[in-house]
Chains A and B, each alone.
Chain A
Amino acid sequence: NAGVMQNPRHLVRRRGQEARLRCSPMKGHSHVYWYRQLPEEGLKFMVYLQKENIIDESGMPKERFSAEFPKEGPSILRIQQVVRGDSAAYFCASSPPRPGGRSYEQYFGPGTRLTVT
C-alpha cells in the first residue's frame, strides 16, 4: 500500500506563473488536507477536502488559491499568479473515512517545495 504521493517534489515558478501541486492519498483514504509551511514557520492548515467536496477552506488565502479533489484522480492545489511570498513547502495528508466524527491519524506526503523567483 503506497503512502501519500505528492508531485512534483520541487517546483520553481517565476512571479506571475501558475503552480499546480498534486496529491494522491493513500488507498482507501477519502479525506485530503493541504498544509503550508513557510520558511522558519510552523505548519498551517489550508484546506480539507473529501471527494468532489471542499469541507473546510478556512485556511486558504481568499485570492489566487484554489483546491479540488475530483471523483477520479489526485487532489490539486492551484496557485495562480504566484508571488515570492508563496515560496513554501506544501504538504498533503490523507485519512480514512471517519464515521461518527472520530479523529483519525493523518498520513503525510513528502511535500512539494515551491520556489518563486
Chain B
Amino acid sequence: KNEVEQSPQNLTAQEGEFITINCSYSVGISALHWLQQHPGGGIVSLFMLSSGKKKHGRLIATINIQEKHSSLHITASHPRDSAVYICAVGGSGNTPLVFGKGTRLSVIA
C-alpha cells in the first residue's frame, strides 16, 4: 500500500464545475504539498500546508491532521486548469518527500 493515496486517478469536468481532489496519507508528517504538473512536464508548487486551510485565487487546500487527509478544491474550473495534480508529504528535518501518483484533470470547455 502506498504511503500517499490520491483519488480520483482521472477526472474530467465541464468548465465552471467545482472540483475536489483527495489525498490520504499513512505516515506522520510535518507538511503536505500540492503540486501541479502541466502537459509540458513542468512542476509548480501550489501549496504547502501543515494545518487548516489555504487559498490562492480559485484554489483552496485543506488538511485534517487527525484524519491524515487533505483536499484540493478548484472553483469555477477552466480548461487551463487541465494538468496532473500531485500530493506529496514530508516529515520534519531531512525526511524526503513521498509523492502520490497524481490526479489527471481534464476540464472541457
| Chain A residues engaging chain B, CB cutoff 8 angstroms | 33, 35, 41-45, 48, 55-56, 58-59, 89, 91, 101-108, 110-111, 113
Q: Give the CA-CA distance A33 to B98 in the complex, in Å.
A: 12
Known: A103-B31, A110-B42. A56 touches B96 (CB 8 A): yes
Docked-complex contact A43 and B48, CB < 8 angstroms: no
Q: Give the CA-CA distance A59 to B99 in the complex, in Å.
A: 13
User: What's the count of A-B pairs with C-beta under 8 Å?
Assistant: 60
Known: A42-B86, A42-B100. A106 touches B92 (CB 8 A): no
* Chain B interfacial residues counted at CB < 8 A: 25
Q: Give the CA-CA distance A70 to B65 in the complex, in Å.
A: 38
Docked-complex contact A110 and B30, CB < 8 angstroms: no
Shortest distance in angstroms between A67's beta carbon and chain B's nearest beta carbon?
A: 13
Known: A33-B97, A56-B96, A103-B30. A43 touches B41 (CB 8 A): no
Q: Give the CA-CA distance A80 to B48 in the complex, in Å.
A: 35
